[in-house]
Chain A
Amino acid sequence: MIPDVHQKAFIEEATELLSELEQTLLDLEENRDDKDLIGKVFRALHTIKGSSGMFGFDEMAHFTHDIENVYDLIRNGELPVTKEIIDLTLAARDQLYIMLGHDKSNFSLDGNKTEEILNKSKKIIEEYRKYSSKNKAIPEPKPVPEVKNTCRSDLQSSKSYNIHFKPSQNIFMGGTNPVLLLNELRDLGETRFITHTEAIPDLSEMNPEFCYFYWDIVLTTDKGIDAINDVFIFLGDDSDLQIKECENIDSVTNNSKDAGNVKIQQGNANAGDSALESALDNDKIKSNVENKADKNKSNSKKIKDNQDAHHEIDSASSLRVSTEKLDELVNLVSELVTIQARLVQIASQSDNSAIMAITEEVERITWELRDSALNIRMLPIGTTFSKFKRLVRDLSNELGKEVELTTEGAETELDKTVLEKLNDPLIHIIRNSIDHGIENPDEREKGNKTRMGTIKLSASQSGGNVLIKISDDGAGIDKEQIKAKAIASKLLPENSDASDADIFSMIFAPGFSTAKKVTSVSGRGVGMDVVKRSIESLRGSVEIESTLNKGTTISLKLPLTLAIIDGLLVKIAEETYVIPLSSVEECIELVQSDIEKVNGRHIVNIRGEIVPYIDIRERFGIMGFVPEIRQVVIADINGTRIGFMVDKVIGQHQTVLKTLGKAYKNVDGVSGATILGDGSVALILDITKLADKETYEESLTVGQLA
């Protein structure tokens, strides 16, 4: 009945409404008297209820009905907002989410699962009922007559009805056309009309916007009295309507004529009075309407002011575009950037100044286009932050802890892809903070802390990176405990004098957990290594700082975008490579004699500091002539300085990232490729991976030596 497109649109809309609802509920919990928020919750529930029934989600509609009633009472000031209600509504929201078909585990047609959901739903509704009966009984909704247009199949024998229809004078003001009603009666069966024109006043007194006619109708139909009632279903109480069933048609006709006459006489007698009355009434109505209109004006102004305060985005000023279209745009811009680089190269070879001028113009516009195209993909991180409010709330309830989540820099923008991939790592980190970091309220009191623990999420932009910090004021990380555990699991040699940063980085080792018991939340030792890996796959880095009994701070550093990066172009033999500029610190020269001085070991002395380096030529097995003077690019990788030896540093390059494709997925040390201005391909070095592998191999040789 309802096409699939509509159902999809509904699911999309409802999903949006539900996540908005969650946010509003959490806001409401903080400002329980905020009428706007209550109104928003009510509207969201109302829309979900109204729409879900239409798109075949009858269970949802039924389920939402009771919850909506509670909020109707709250809206009217008859119920206060309590934690209990918020809890129940949040649970109900989750049920609705499942009902929408979002929970993948429910996709299979498992009858038990469906029943379980229904039972859960019923429980929630019961609790609501209990709640509302405790405070005030919900008035049972009065059944409203529905528009019935199903043809009645029960064949009734034809009956005749005598209908007296006198519309109120201002029936037109309600948008009703009485002629259409009469036509509908005509469609029901055989009709005879008697039109009364006696009420029409003199032309000077007549209001052309009024209806002065009325009718007596004799209708013979087999459709029954309900069908006649349906015709007049929208007719207001101010119109006069009488429907009587008669057995003898002829007598009815006569009777009705008589009755009509009597009425006309009465009508004539009272005509003057009633006209006066109706005129008075009209004035009253008009002034009422005007008053109300004024009120409406001030109300809508208030709403507008409130909206400004809430920083709501005007729905009309934003546009929804599918991600694929955006990706395509970014792809095209990337192509343009590549082509533009070529244009610059060719133009610089010609002496034509006009071409040069155009090239510069194209360059400027291309950069602007690139920036705005990438900017479209940027989303404020606040949307992700707000999801965690719920997580913190649920987890702290489950673990019996009191935790408050504060956020900072929610307006900081990040690429959509980065943002999406950031979700899981952040969940892991926050879970850890609540489970291991924040202590129980009683413990906190003993340690002279407030019972309520705090987790602070902050985001800020620094250059081409976004810095995200997750700090808690919990127990902190016990260095000694980690060290002991690391030594026990042979991750560190005994009596090691590893630095704090090294010890903390143990947390990211796979399978590493110091939790004494495994809870449903964390402690299984998976998690932090996943966090590290996924952040690294986004070309970001993770750092931990922690003070025992004071708290832990985990900092994530992420690139703003994944599509185009600043790279450093380097040359080895005839090949060109790109090193991501964000982690490059400096470049130094190295002559063959320097290498000989340290007996060929891969270390370099920079202002008294010994820095190891990786010879890329050697690493990739590149043959050919080795120049006398070579260069080492010093990069900062997770706090360690490591050099990469290349033949020559060419310079900075706007690098459009291209993947190597599935075939080269497992190539280590190369994260992608880019196309240079002359059309040749340059590989992008994955310096983190290169460094990792090198240290691993080094530790092997150390082991062999020992």
Chain B
Amino acid sequence: MDRGRYLNKHKQRREMSKIILTVDDSSSIRQVVSFTLKEAGYTVLEACDGQDALNKITGSSLHMVVTDLNMPNLDGIGLIKKLRMDPIHKFIPIIMLTTESQNEKKMEGKAAGATGWIVKPFKPEQLLAVVKKVLG
């Protein structure tokens, strides 16, 4: 009985283990996003800017991306556009992290193909709610 429950739980966890990439130049934000998502059973990859993200995902397939907008090298908008042109990642949900002063950016991101956004500062459970919402 116990074993069965364990296996069941284990199976659930494995099924849930979708890969999410978090892109942010702030390591503390990355840490929180990564920690929160890992706690919820997702597999998390980290990248420090758009270019780094593109380098890291070549050849692999992600289930979702959570990206900051203001980053050096390649910003969030640029990253979203590139991902939407990539046949593998064309349809994956992409969530952008914005601040309330970035309304225009939000619209720009949406036009570039972002699925949704989270306003900073956010609580871990808010992040999870949004991830659940777009990832199912």
- Give A contacts to B, CB under 8 Å: 1-3, 5-6, 9-10, 12-14, 42-43, 46-47, 49-55, 58, 61, 65, 68-69, 72, 141-144, 146-147, 149, 172-177, 179-180, 183-184, 209, 233-234, 236, 289, 292-293, 296, 299-300, 303-304, 315-316
Contacts and interface: CB of A to CB of B under 8 A. Distances in A.
A289 B111 CA distance: 11
Given A172-B91, A183-B136, A303-B72, A149 B129 contact: yes
20 contacts: A2-B32, A3-B35, A6-B31, A6-B32, A43-B71, A51-B29, A52-B121, A53-B120, A54-B28, A72-B101, A144-B103, A147-B122, A174-B113, A175-B113, A175-B115, A179-B136, A289-B81, A289-B85, A293-B82, A296-B78
Nearest to A303: B73
Given A10-B28, A13-B27, A50-B26, A147 B103 contact: no
A43 B31 contact: no
A55 B52 CA distance: 25
Given A144-B100, A174-B110, A176-B93, A292 B81 contact: yes
Q: Which of B68, B119, B120 has the most CB of A within 10 A?
A: B120
Given A53-B120, A175-B134, A293-B85, A65 B94 contact: no
B116 interface: yes
Contact of A293 (B68, B81, B116): B81
Interface in B83-136: 84-85, 90-94, 97-101, 103, 106, 110, 113-126, 129-130, 133-134, 136
B48 interface: yes
B17 interface: no
Contact of A234 (B31, B68, B78, B116): B116
Contact of B121 (A50, A72, A179, A289): A50
Contacts of B43: none
Nearest to A42: B70
A209 B91 CA distance: 9
Contacts of B27: 9, 13
B26 A51 contact: yes
Contact of B35 (A6, A46, A47, A55): A6
A43 B121 contact: no
Contacts of A65: 101
Given A50-B99, A147-B129, A174-B114, A13 B28 contact: yes
Contacts of A315: 48
B134 A149 contact: no
Contacts of A141: 100-101, 103
Contacts of B84: 173, 289
Given A173-B91, A174-B115, A50 B120 contact: yes
Contacts of B114: 174-175
A144 B81 contact: no
Contacts of B94: 175
A70 to B, nearest CB: 12
A601 B127 CA distance: 83
Given A68-B101, A149-B126, A315-B48, 9 more contacts: A43-B72, A46-B99, A61-B121, A72-B101, A147-B130, A172-B91, A173-B91, A175-B114, A234-B117
A184 B133 contact: yes
The 7 closest A-B pairs by CB, nearest first: A53-B121, A234-B116, A175-B115, A10-B28, A175-B93, A54-B121, A50-B120
Contact of B134 (A1, A13, A52, A176): A176
Contacts of B98: 144
B74 interface: yes
Nearest to B69: A46
Nearest to B93: A175
A120 B118 CA distance: 32
Interface string B41-73: 000000010011000000000000000101111
A180 B133 CA distance: 7
Nearest to B28: A10
A2 B124 contact: yes
Contact of B81 (A5, A236, A296): A296
A55 B33 CA distance: 12
Nearest to A13: B28
B134 A234 contact: yes
A146 B117 CA distance: 9
A54 B91 contact: no
A547 to B, nearest CB: 48
A387 B106 CA distance: 37
A173 B90 contact: yes
A146 B70 CA distance: 20
A1 B126 CA distance: 12
A10 B121 CA distance: 13
A304 to B, nearest CB: 8
A12 B31 CA distance: 13
B128 to A, nearest CB: 9
Nearest to B125: A149
Given A172-B91, A174-B113, A175-B113, A69 B101 contact: yes
A43 B81 contact: no
Most buried by A among B28, B31, B118, B121: B28
